[in-house]
Amino acid sequence: MSLSLQQRGNVFLVAAVCLLVLGICAPFSGHDLQRGVQIALGLCAVLYGLSVSPIERLVDRPTAIGLVLIIGLGPLSSALAHQPLWAFTEVALFIVCGAIALAFALLRRHGGEPLDRVLVLVVVLLCLIKSIQYLHAGLLAITSGQRILDPDLLLSGFANKRFYGQFQTFTLPLLALPLLLPGVSRPVRSAVLALLCVWWLIAISGGTRGTWLGMAMASGVLAVLGPWGRRWLAWQWVALCGGLLLYWLLFTVLVGYLGIEVSQAAADRLTTSLSGRGPIWWQAWHMLVEHPWLGFGPMHFADIANNIAAHPHQAILQWASEWGMPSALCVAILAWRASWATVGVLRERAQFATCADLLRTCLFASLIGALTQSMVDGVIVMPNSQVWLALVVGWLMALHAWRAPATPALPLAWGAWNVASVLAVGLLVWVAVRDLPHLQQAQQRYLDTRGGYLQPRFWAQGVIALSPP
């Protein structure tokens, strides 16, 4: 007995929520688990996409042409790369992220506005669990009798505190939605505001400057996009002040009273240093100059070993140096067109206060913050950030109000996309099955031979120059 369209959507939704909770909230979570979760979610998204046939097009013709160019240039660059299999793996990852975005777009299109509230509840649940974990770790640290407290050790579930910060860049804007919705009771509004204050406390103590920069840019953009954007900004300022107050009470007043010294305080991060990004930006620039048309190959920044990172911490430089300048130009144009189209919808519906309109505002703030942070951090590299970027983009696609009449979907184009997505997720599953049993040994070999620390890319040890497939 075949499942109905709604039942298939519900199955995908439950699977997606379970995987998101596992990848972020499990105490043993980390980069490799989150990559595995991403592949599993991609598999679920592809299966859901195969079971659904869109009635209307999800993107317009120029966007479709741009995507075809990007996907077409990717395999060409990969075939000429030093390690073609790793390059094709990166292309497959890009396609699977697109499949995840389309799956969420189709889910929202068919499920309607009730799914907007489900999304908000999931965000609140994830932030609540992470906040409880943080406060519990803080309580244990304060009562342990140790004389030095490192706030970074209170962060769990991510291999690096910057990856935690990327997750917060996506969720800080979304967590403010219940404060904007009309009809929300005062106790619920107060509880959400308290959670948002704690979430800002974690963002402050984590010291991820990319998150601060992303939220500042999102605030500046929303301030000029109508009254609801400014109301969102007001709530964020209230929560930020609450977070600063909590930080002062916990990490200045309380620890001072207990005679505990705080190492790596948030104030120490208020610098303009590049934190080692200069050399890797130069490496990416030299790669671009040497191979401007097709780049060195997707993922191939990691094929030139350095002592800092396996990716340049800058989205434009990364894409241009690995995929080539024409591909990077297509990506930049598509991102600009999509953002400008969303700005147009936000301006047209600036006076409306439906859940969908307010969610669109928060999702756009999340997208602007993430894109801004990607200029100084690996937002387009880390598995959890890639999943949330796909979710935000997919939901915005579903909420987009087209000015021109909707055009019917092209069965041939949808079929070609399904073939590409099946091949892509199949390659990722094969890579995971090949590598997962040996990841710990590979990481230990890397640490024994190179020392220092792991450099994440596809896996937590992401330097493919030392471990060709």
Q: For residue 434, give the 3-state DSSP assignment.
A: helix
Q: Residue 362's Cα: distance from chain center in Å?
A: 15
- Please report the sign of the dihedral spanned by the C-alpha atoms of residue 274, residue 280, residue 283, residue 284: negative
Rg of the chain (C-alpha set): 22
Beta bridge partners of 56: 408
Q: Average the pLDDT over each of 243-247, 339-343, 383-387, 408-412 and give the range with the smallest value.
A: 408-412
402 pLDDT tier (thresholds 50, 70, 90): confident
343: nearest Cα among 401, 263, 388: 401
Tokens at 142, concatenated: 């304060």
pLDDT for residue 320 is more than 50 = yes
Question: Average pLDDT for residues 272-292, to the nearest whole number?
Answer: 91
**Backbone φ and ψ of 185, nearest 5°:** -65, 160
Q: Following DSSP, what letter does each residue of 310-376 receive, concatenated? A: SS-S-HHHHHHHHH-HHHHHHHHHHHHHHHHHHHHHHHHTTT---HHHHHHHHHHHHHHHHHHHTTT
Q: Following DSSP, what letter does each residue of 173-199 receive, concatenated? A: HHHTHHHHSTT--HHHHHHHHHHHHHH
- Whether residue 324 contacts residue 75, with contact meaning beta carbons closer than 8 Å, is answered with no
26 pLDDT tier (thresholds 50, 70, 90): confident
- Please report the sign of the dihedral spanned by the C-alpha atoms of residue 26, residue 28, residue 30, residue 36: negative
Q: Which of 43-47, 58-62, 453-457 has the highest mean pLDDT?
A: 43-47
pLDDT, tens only, 162-193: 999 999 999 999 999 999 998 889 999 999 99
Question: Average pLDDT for residues 113-134, to the nearest whole number?
Answer: 96
Q: Average the pLDDT over each of 234-238, 265-269, 398-402 and give the range with the smallest value.
A: 265-269
pLDDT for residue 4 is more than 50 = yes
Q: pLDDT value at position 404?
A: 63
Q: pLDDT value at position 469?
A: 41
pLDDT for residue 102 is more than 90 = yes
Q: pLDDT value at position 297?
A: 97
pLDDT, tens only, 203-220: 999 988 999 999 999 999
pLDDT, tens only, 352-389: 889 999 999 999 999 999 999 999 999 999 999 999 99
Q: What percent of the chain has pLDDT over 90?
A: 75
